[in-house]
Amino acid sequence: MESVAVLNVFRPVPVGKWMLPHNVFFWSKHGDPAMMWARFRKKTRGCAMRCGGAGDGLGSMEEWEQQTGKEGEMRGKQMGKKGSVPGIVIATVLATLLCAAFAQAADPIKIGAILSVTGPASFLGAPEAKTLEMVVAETNKKGGIQGRQIQLIIKDSGASPEKAFSFAKQLIDEDKVFAIIGPSTSGESMKIKSVAEEGKTILMSCAAAEAIVNPVAKYVFKTPQSDKDAVLKIFQQMKKMKITKIGVLSSNTGFGGAGKGQIEKLAPEHGITIVANEVYDKAASDLTAEVTKIKAANVQAIVNWSIEPAQAIVIKNARQIGLKIPIFQSHGFGNIKYVDAAGEAAEGVMFPAGRLLVADVLPKTNPQRELLLKYKKDYMAFCSGEECSTFGGHAYDAFIILVKGNRKCEVHGQGGGPDRHREPQGLRRDRRHLQLLPDGP
């Protein structure tokens, strides 16, 4: 039996000499080249594409800047939508912040990272930490940034907002880092958002909730695509499947709550009625009671929103009680370990994801294929054969954006940089330069 997962398409967005991701997804029926169906095989732990198409997990500053005559970089997934781009990482904005930050950073340059290396969100934080260790080692081997080595300071929050808050204070006040990458989860990111603002320190979150960057904060950015866009993509697919009545399950976390809120907000606009809505504990080991309530409501499909291992339990318990309806997961399902945990029950589960998961079978003409395959190869070599996930890409993007931002400072003759606490007035001004690539593969 094969587990089928739907993968979406994320498009890069050009901003001047930068290319940033545009997380508008493209879904279609089986056979349409804009849709990717991946077969997750438990034995091979691999992906194979059933039909042609385009999709991305990590984006590439290299491929993007090749289009504009610049050198390369990778990105995972950045939020953004035409007409509504609060908090998007725009190069000119980061240049202002980064020039200032690097100007006052002592040798070595200190970069902090607050990640859920252990705990319920370790499937996110662990690959993010390993990715950062890998890219920092590579950068230092090549001479660092402007001749200075990078000192990476990783703090394991265990997905605890309280620990993340304490670590953020420590990194800013004691370690005096010029930027923080992470946290891994939305709840943690929301918890330390004010700390970064007050400390005038760049925060590059690896979490997805739109609330992290909306409303816009001067020093807070994020690399993953937003929960709002993931919900919209799921609803678009439901429309094609003529699904109008759904049951919603979500974890009691920042990510779960934010996704639940977007589902409730957007459902009426897309002709979707929520007839059952259950919230479960992130540490739950049995969710039979919750899925039984969903079954009793006679829904046509389930949407489950979480990033913890419990999301795999939802799938198993639903199938165990005889529910054969479609199950949609959030973009937080983008790690093969979740598929393994669900086992045979994962067959048929659909979720929005990116090209990285099927990089091996992308057409050779796809501009991101080479970079994605290199990342996968490098990561597996660095991590003794461990498979990469889209979550590691979030950290990769954050780091590369910081590095490229500093090089942009150097290009503009600001290697010394202005005062790091200079207010980034360019944020609102430069948002209007966002451009979107046309839809389609």
The CA–CA distances, whole Å, from 331 to 98, 354, 422 equal 30, 9, 36
The residue ranking higher by pLDDT, 335 or 204, is 204
**Which tokens sit at 214?**
């909306």
Q: Is the pLDDT of residue 346 over 70?
A: yes
The residue type found at 220 is: V
Tell me, what's the pLDDT at 101?
57
Considering the chain, what is the average pLDDT of its residues? 75
**pLDDT range class, residue 100, cuts 50, 70, 90:** low
Q: Is the pLDDT of residue 132 over 90?
A: yes
Q: Is the pLDDT of residue 361 over 50?
A: yes
Tell me, what's the pLDDT at 302?
98
Residues 6+ positions from 33 with CB-CB distance below 8 Å: 51, 52, 53, 54, 441
Nearest to 329 by CA among 86, 123, 182: 123
Q: Could you read off the pLDDT of 323-333 as tens digits, one per residue?
A: 999 999 998 88
Q: Is 354 helix (H, G, I), strand (E, B) or coil?
A: coil
Average pLDDT over residues 182-205: 95
Q: Is the pLDDT of residue 188 over 70?
A: yes
The CA–CA distances, whole Å, from 433 to 92, 93, 212, 430 equal 10, 11, 22, 6
**pLDDT range class, residue 25, cuts 50, 70, 90:** very low
Element (H, E) at 432: none
Tell me, what's the pLDDT at 332?
87
The Cα 101–Cα 109 span in angstroms is: 10
Average pLDDT over residues 65-86: 36
Provide the percentage of residues in the chain whose pLDDT is more than 70.
68
Domains and CATH numbers, the chain: 227-357 (3.40.50.2300)
The Cα 89–Cα 80 span in angstroms is: 9
Instruction: Please list the residues that pair with 18 across neighbouring strands.
Output: 15
CA angle, 352 as apex, 236 and 264 as ends, to 5°?
55
Tell me, what's the pLDDT at 320?
97
Q: Is the pLDDT of residue 348 over 70?
A: yes
* Cβ-based burial of 386 (10 A; exposed 0-12, middle 13-18, buried ≥19): middle
Q: Is the pLDDT of residue 82 over 70?
A: no
Map tokens 């000499």 to a residue. 17
Q: Is the pLDDT of residue 313 over 50?
A: yes
The sign of the torsion formed by the CA atoms of 254, 207, 22, 4 equals negative
Tell me, what's the pLDDT at 409?
58
**Which tokens sit at 76?**
């995972």
Count of C-beta atoms within a 10 Å radius of residue 421:
13
Q: Is the pLDDT of residue 105 over 60?
A: no
Tell me, what's the pLDDT at 94?
58
DSSP secondary structure of 114-133: EE--SSTTHHHHHHHHHHHH
The residue ranking higher by pLDDT, 390 or 414, is 390
The residue ranking higher by pLDDT, 345 or 419, is 345
**pLDDT range class, residue 103, cuts 50, 70, 90:** low
Nearest to 351 by CA among 337, 332, 324, 338: 332
Q: Is the pLDDT of residue 34 over 50?
A: no
Tally of residues, the chain: 441
**pLDDT range class, residue 93, cuts 50, 70, 90:** low
**Which tokens sit at 189?**
């990111």
Count of C-beta atoms within a 10 Å radius of residue 44:
9
Q: Is 197 helix (H, G, I), strand (E, B) or coil?
A: helix
The residue type found at 346 is: A
The Cα 146–Cα 10 span in angstroms is: 32
Q: Is 221 helix (H, G, I), strand (E, B) or coil?
A: strand
Tell me, what's the pLDDT at 62?
36
Average pLDDT over residues 378-385: 95
Tell me, what's the pLDDT at 413?
41
